Chain A
């Protein structure tokens, strides 16, 4: 009779279990490293904002040019957005770490938004700001599309400053922003400039209609590209 080797069944079970446990451990380890990196980036941005605020206080002694160039919302904050969004997808929207990081991130955005407002008043510049309120609780079918358009606009026109806020995130500063701009729960909601609240935009055309300055930026960009192209052609001819 062919008797099964039960010891082998148990041994293989243990090996399989060990492989599973190792995979879970490695996954967890990398996720923790990710969270640590996000925290470190956020801290760096916080320092940058603090530095900008200090510079602002010293404005009398510094030029507006310096302040604009040192603004915290630069590629750092954009990079953080991308990383945070990836981590949110990996760990899930209900993950405590993700929620804490998002809270901190939202506060950093608000601080940068306020700083930019003050700088623009002092220096006479008109930043193109968009406050974007979204929800990822499954009650906003258009939010994903709107997010894609905003990502695209941000990459095409670095002058456009997009501040994205989770409408349902429990942060009192976000609640204050919502009540300040009277943003209703009809998401996606966008605040252009300082007053205009628009709901349900989800295409580039919608944005170009709502924000005519985008057309101007587009024309400028095309002109720059044409100039660069003709410069390259003339170098090649020479």
Chain B
């Protein structure tokens, strides 16, 4: 075995280990996924902050969906904060100025974390959550989240985020990606290792902020930083997989690239900031499995992209050489139907198994989030294009981290 094969086998083994670990955890808890969450026994007071920055088109729908939540009206209040928008957001918010459940504020632009801290100081409820101004909630979502807080040890709960009405290939690709995230988020919660409390509809007990402080800038990924800080303080974060939240997809490849670059770069910076949490017994699975796997998955992702690229270049140069000799015939498809010519290289077999397991994880995500495990078109787009697109933001994020460059919000 040459060194190249050895490295390939190492990354294949670690990737396979990660996938098997997630699936085993899922199978151990599969009964829980199918259960319907019951109505909570008590209704704590809840504040939902809606940070708005140039969201004139969507903010009204976001607040309307919050007002349609099935929850006692006197227990639910909404704080919408215009963070120095330059469009008609403040004007759009005026629709709710007389609504008894909604409070409107306007402040100078300072970034999302400043809005959240502002809203925290203006709220006195038992639970505090946030909903991005481009997202919408299912009417049952809050009940299902609150139910999770009946466990006194749970300090925060994350929802199940879905893509809203995806139509184009780029939107469908994000749908499958979010479906996979539903699976991963649930399994990480089962492992006690949630390290992101996403912007759309994550909720916290009030004591969290009293104990560990408010949000920080955190390289524009404040939702990851606060979760890491909670984990460091030994606070439990759960996931309500049946609390559905819908968010608009990125419409273009460039916008998707910008968003993912911010997420991944912020993720790297936060991992660096919290590097002391690696391989420490007190942080449990997060420390021994989830965080190292996050780093390894980036390395293996880059390695396999380079590996695939090398194979494509080799194949193409072989075909070009063939074309020089025999002309256009070289590009005619040559399919050997005989078993003899099947690629049975161990790397090929293990890669096929990995692809099947990845497909299983997406289908498991569908089962958790949509109560169906039937394959759909979005999965095909994801398999075909995600591997081509993701290296761009991954490489740029590594580059930015290495050179300590900042990534802008938009």
Contact = CB atoms under 8 A, between A and B. Distances in A.
Interface stretch (B75-83, B221-229, B276-284): B276-284
B106 to A, nearest CB: 42
Contacts of B329: 152
Nearest to A204: B325
B353 A23 contact: yes
A167 to B, nearest CB: 21
Contacts of A210: none
Given A16-B17, A23-B353, A90-B344, A3 B284 contact: yes
B340 A19 contact: no
B341 interface: yes
Interface string A197-227: 0000011100000000000000000000000
Interface residues of A, number: 33
A149 B327 CA distance: 11
Interface stretch (B93-101, B167-175, B285-293): B285-293
B288 A23 contact: no
Q: Which of A13, A23, A24, A37 has the most CB of B within 10 A?
A: A23
A26 B25 CA distance: 27
B24 A11 contact: yes
A203 B16 CA distance: 46
Interface in A67-119: 83, 86, 90
Nearest to A83: B340
B268 to A, nearest CB: 24
A19 B353 contact: yes
Given A1-B234, A26-B349, A86 B340 contact: yes
Interface of A, helix, strand, loop or mixed by DSSP: helix
A152 B334 CA distance: 14
A139 B293 CA distance: 43
Interface stretch (A27-35, A44-52, A54-62): A27-35
Given A19-B16, A145-B325, A12 B24 contact: yes
A23 B321 contact: no
B195 to A, nearest CB: 12
Given A148-B322, A152-B325, A24 B346 contact: yes
Interface in B230-268: 234, 236
A5 B24 CA distance: 12
B67 interface: no
B129 interface: no
A12 B21 contact: yes
Contacts of B342: 30
A126 interface: no
B340 A15 contact: no
A203 B325 contact: yes
Contact of A20 (B21, B25, B236, B350): B350
B284 A4 contact: yes
B192 interface: yes
A16 B24 contact: no
Nearest to B341: A86
A2 B285 contact: yes
A13 B17 contact: yes
Given A2-B192, A145-B321, A27 B346 contact: yes
A17 B400 CA distance: 37
Contacts of B404: none
Contacts of A30: 342, 344
A23 B349 contact: yes
Contacts of B193: 2
Contacts of A202: 325
B121 interface: no
A144 B284 contact: no
A4 B325 contact: no
A1 B283 CA distance: 8
Given A1-B282, A152-B325, A16 B16 contact: yes
Interface string B304-331: 0000000000000000011011100100
A8 interface: yes
B289 to A, nearest CB: 7
A4 B17 contact: no
B350 A19 contact: yes
B385 interface: no
B409 interface: no
Contacts of B341: 86
A148 B342 CA distance: 21
Nearest to A34: B340
26 contacts: A1-B234, A1-B284, A2-B192, A2-B283, A3-B281, A3-B284, A4-B289, A8-B24, A9-B289, A12-B21, A15-B20, A20-B13, A23-B349, A23-B350, A23-B353, A24-B346, A26-B344, A27-B344, A37-B340, A90-B345, A144-B321, A148-B321, A149-B325, A152-B325, A152-B329, A204-B326
Interface of B: 12-13, 16-17, 20-21, 24-25, 192-193, 234, 236, 281-289, 321-322, 324-326, 329, 340-342, 344-346, 349-350, 353
Interface of A: 1-5, 8-9, 11-13, 15-16, 19-20, 23-24, 26-27, 30-31, 34, 37, 83, 86, 90, 144-145, 148-149, 152, 202-204
- Rank and list the top 10 A-B pairs by shortest CB-CB distance, nearest first: A2-B284, A2-B192, A23-B349, A30-B344, A27-B346, A152-B326, A16-B17, A148-B325, A12-B21, A23-B350
